[in-house]
Structure 1
Amino acid sequence: MADATKPLPPAEPELPKTTAEIRALLKRTHAGDESTVPVVRKMLQDPACVHLFGGDLAHEVVASFTRAMAGDNVSFREAVLRKLELLRAELLGENPTPVERVLVERVVACWLQVQDAELRAAQGQKDTSFRQAEFHQHRMDAANRRFLAAVKTLAQVRKLAIPVLQINVGKKQVNIATPVVRPAS
């Protein structure tokens, strides 16, 4: 006989099925409705939903910088986003590791920050006080340091993944360390 005082397990949350239901859920989450937490957690079990709720922070940073740079200029915004896609694809190459993917996102974001700093400095050159020019120069230098540090880190990670080759000329032997096998994406 079952114990009548034993609590029932919590009911599985019902997930939104339509775009309108998802929009309504997002509106409630943005307003701080804590009753949405079980549904949100259930949805976030699907990695594709992380972006839906703003959890892809690298994407959010790039989108924020791009909006700030482009303003209402849709063609400029789309051209910048396309450039970033091309840069990301070129840097990722084939079969990137998870660490390389994170570092490439950092390189892309830092590259965009360098371009933004330089663009704003160039646009503000007319009628700029010495103090403003100094601010822009400092901002460009700091963004460039972060960019170069990100590129250096990516290069170091990739260097560690290269198999080691040792040639012993005297004994006519070649030793190759076991190459790092990258998992398929």
Structure 2
Amino acid sequence: MGWELRHGNRWYLYRCRRVNGKPVKEYLAAQHDRLVPGFGAVMADQLGRLQRRLRHLRGLARQARSDVRGRIDDVLTLARDANAELRVASDGLLAALGYHKHRRGEWRMKRDVALLKDAIRALETQHAAGPGPLVNYTAPEADAEAAEVFAKSRAGDAGAQARLRVLIRDRNWTNWIGDLGVQATHQLVHMAAAGDVVWMAGIAEKVSALIDELLGEKPTVLEVLLARRVINGWLATHALELELAVRPPAVPRDRAHLDAALSRAQKRLTEAVRELARVRKLQAPVILAQLNVAASQTVVNGGGSGAPAKV
């Protein structure tokens, strides 16, 4: 929108806009002096205010779309990162049992089972440095001893670090601090419930029931890891489905983004379920249980004064 001087001494007010993608100049008013109050000046002032409001509304719409995409991406990122850690652990156990991925596809038993010992040793010595902690663990307020041990351990005190592992076992905090899959499930439950305590309790109970149904009476470590991947995939998938059902994005591009995210979450869930079924079909949990029994019998019957090292 602007004034143009034409015919030597007369000002004309025009508004520029687009019609079907083409620029169009629309005549609004005219007067001899654009600085003198008149109909044209009043119209120019009102149109200027209207354009500023429209710009503000467009900014709010962009921010709303950005918030929707941010929530969607947070759910996918959390589920992906959690399942990546669980996949490494489950794949490592399968490799240690003598399995390999045939042409990067299904797990199959290796013909040369003599590599089992080397694979286990490689898993024990493998260490990858990562970024800072994703979850900040603080000692309970009423537990002064734990608070002191936590602080000294993080400061580099070797004695406190040795005491820390004993403290975690004595307090039965292994699942609280040590289990990444459980922690990822807690974060997904909290995100899906959006902070509502009642809803969070209901989701947590449903997750516990699903885990019990998946694991059965005597699950192995490998089954627990794979079942946790299934649970995390289930949470991510249904959280995005609920987002699509209750708060569908108004903009088609944002809705397409949510649909694509939901498809990726469903694919991860399907892969996790298929992996658990394959492992049970291969009877890998049975072999793992037999190895655990054989190892315990070796320790008992082998004598010796040294206790097995704990990881």
What range is the shorter-chain TM-score in? Answer: 0.5 to 0.7
CA distance in 1, matches of 2:149, 2:247: 39
SS in 1 for 2:143: helix
Q: Report the equivalent of 2:253.
A: 131
Q: Report the equivalent of 2:155.
A: 33
Q: Is the 8 A contact 1:103 1:153 kept in 2?
A: yes
Pairs within 5 Å for 1:42-121: 42-44=166-168, 48-52=172-176, 54-121=177-244
CA distance in 1, matches of 2:252, 2:208: 36
Q: Report the equivalent of 1:13.
A: none
Residues 46, 105 of structure 1: alpha-carbon distance in 2 compared, 3 angstrom cutoff: farther
Residues 42, 152 of structure 1: alpha-carbon distance in 2 compared, 3 angstrom cutoff: same
* 1:98-132: CA deviation from partner (whole Å, max 9, x where unpaired): 1111111111111111111111222221x521121
Q: Give the stretch that moved more between structures: 129-138 or 64-73.
A: 64-73
More helix by share: 2
- Deviation (angstroms), 1:37: 2.7
Residues 138, 45 of structure 1: alpha-carbon distance in 2 compared, 3 angstrom cutoff: same
More strand by share: 2
CA distance in 2, matches of 1:120, 1:26: 42
User: Where does structure 2 lack aligned partners over 5 or more consecutive residues?
Assistant: 1-138, 293-311
TM-score when normalising by structure 2: 0.42
Letter in 2 for 1:97: T
Letter in 2 for 1:154: L
- Deviation (angstroms), 1:72: 3.0
- Deviation (angstroms), 1:25: 3.6
Q: Is the 8 A contact 2:210 2:231 kept in 1?
A: yes
Q: Quick check: which has more Rg, 1 or 2?
A: 2
Q: Is the 8 A contact 2:220 2:288 kept in 1?
A: no
User: Where does structure 1 lack aligned partners over 5 or more consecutive residues?
Assistant: 1-15, 163-178
Residues 122, 34 of structure 1: alpha-carbon distance in 2 compared, 3 angstrom cutoff: farther
CA distance in 2, matches of 1:43, 1:115: 37
Pairs within 5 Å for 1:17-28: 19-22=142-145, 24-25=147-148, 28=151
Identity of aligned residues (%): 25
Letter in 1 for 2:236: Q
What do you get for the CA RMSD once the two structures are aligned? 3.1
Residues 142, 25 of structure 1: alpha-carbon distance in 2 compared, 3 angstrom cutoff: farther
TM-score when normalising by structure 1: 0.68
Q: Is the 8 A contact 1:95 1:182 kept in 2?
A: no
Q: Report the equivalent of 2:266.
A: 144
Letter in 1 for 2:281: K
